[in-house]
Amino acid sequence: MIVAKSLISVGLPVYNGEEFVDNVIESVLEQDYRELELIICDNASSDATARICQEWAERDNRVRYYRNEENIGALANFERTLKLARGSYFNWVGHDDAFDPTYLSEVVTYLEAHPDVVLCASDFRGVDRQLGVHDQCLDSLYPTIPWRKVRKGFFDGTSDSMRYNSVYGLFRREVMVTVPMTEGPAPGKDALYLWEVPFLARIASHGKVVALPKVLRTMRWRVGSVGWQVNSARTLGESLAVERSVKRRNFRIAAKASLPLLEKAELVLASALSFLQPSLFIRRTVDMIAAQHRASRDRLRVIQQLEMAAEERLRCIGHLNEEIELLTEKLGNLMNQGQAA
């Protein structure tokens, strides 16, 4: 049953999203929770994105479409959607992602019933053209986990990186507007890597962050996305330098947190010890390559069982063996770099 009637703002930052943006807009507007506005900020797209979004804005008055005259960078575009929001709650959505029909009603109902929670996300299905579709659990954020343990995970640098997907959950906007997305001047065009780590640490300093143990969203991971382009352009040294900067920011956030002394001390210690932990960039990349490695081996087993011409079978097996050898080499190199880092 839908109880809450507060306005929800959904922020959709987009750049050249013609392939999927129609689908995500439809998924937002077909929510069973009707009190919403969809804020689309088009970052000077050069494809059919503008036409698609304008057509939706003409059909549904809940859609507000804005186009930047020039590309202002991904993070600044994210921030613009938040600044234009009017709702009591706010949720970002990627232009290649989607909501299940009951997503907003379920997370807003949880927030309305738990005033100490400032961000509510959910499990999601991850879609990858190589790996297929897999349910992804944010189990380190489930409501059954003690809150101090959850909060510490945003500071200690050792917890699973999956928790950071909660940045695409539903926030209390009144809390978000008090939390800067970046430090210093306006973010540059490349200020995307790991921005969510200190941002969510600040959010967790203001209240609880939870994830519902239910798949209610779809997220696509794909080569060529804005995040992929920005992050893949970094060298390992540049990525490690950004991580050290992020860890220093988390330490300052912990030191300034308005919390009881003992709880603040826990976060300060956790953030200090994070400097001794392996690189998050390397761990994320190792996880991704390991998943690709498992998928290649699974495909190899399937091909060995299929009925096909011997020549075609040998060709496929040879290709997959080469792919597995390359991924094994990449894993080994990254593990060595991680130890050196």
Residue 50 · residue 21 · CB < 8 Å? no
Domain boundaries along the sequence of the chain: 8-232, 236-276, 280-340
CATH for the 8-232 domain, from 3.40.50.720, 3.90.550.10, 1.10.3720.10, 1.10.274.50:
3.90.550.10
Residue by residue, pLDDT tens for the chain (341 residues) are 444 578 999 999 999 999 999 999 999 999 999 999 999 999 999 999 999 999 999 999 999 999 999 999 889 999 999 999 999 999 999 999 999 999 999 999 999 999 999 999 999 998 876 556 778 899 999 999 999 999 999 998 755 678 999 999 999 999 999 998 876 444 444 455 678 989 999 999 999 999 999 999 998 865 445 554 555 555 666 767 777 888 889 999 999 999 999 999 999 999 998 887 766 656 666 666 666 666 667 766 777 777 777 777 677 777 767 766 776 676 566 556 555 55
Instruction: Give the pLDDT score at 187.
Output: 43
Instruction: Give the pLDDT score at 280.
Output: 62
What region, left, alpha or beta, does residue 132 occupy, with left being phi > 0 and alpha being psi -120 to 50 degrees?
left
Residue 95 · residue 17 · CB < 8 Å? yes
pTM of the predicted structure, to 2 decimals:
0.80
Report the residue count for the chain.
Answer: 341
Place of tokens 């999203």: 17
Instruction: Give the pLDDT score at 77.
Output: 94
Give CA separation, 312 vs 298, 301, 305, in Å: 18, 15, 13
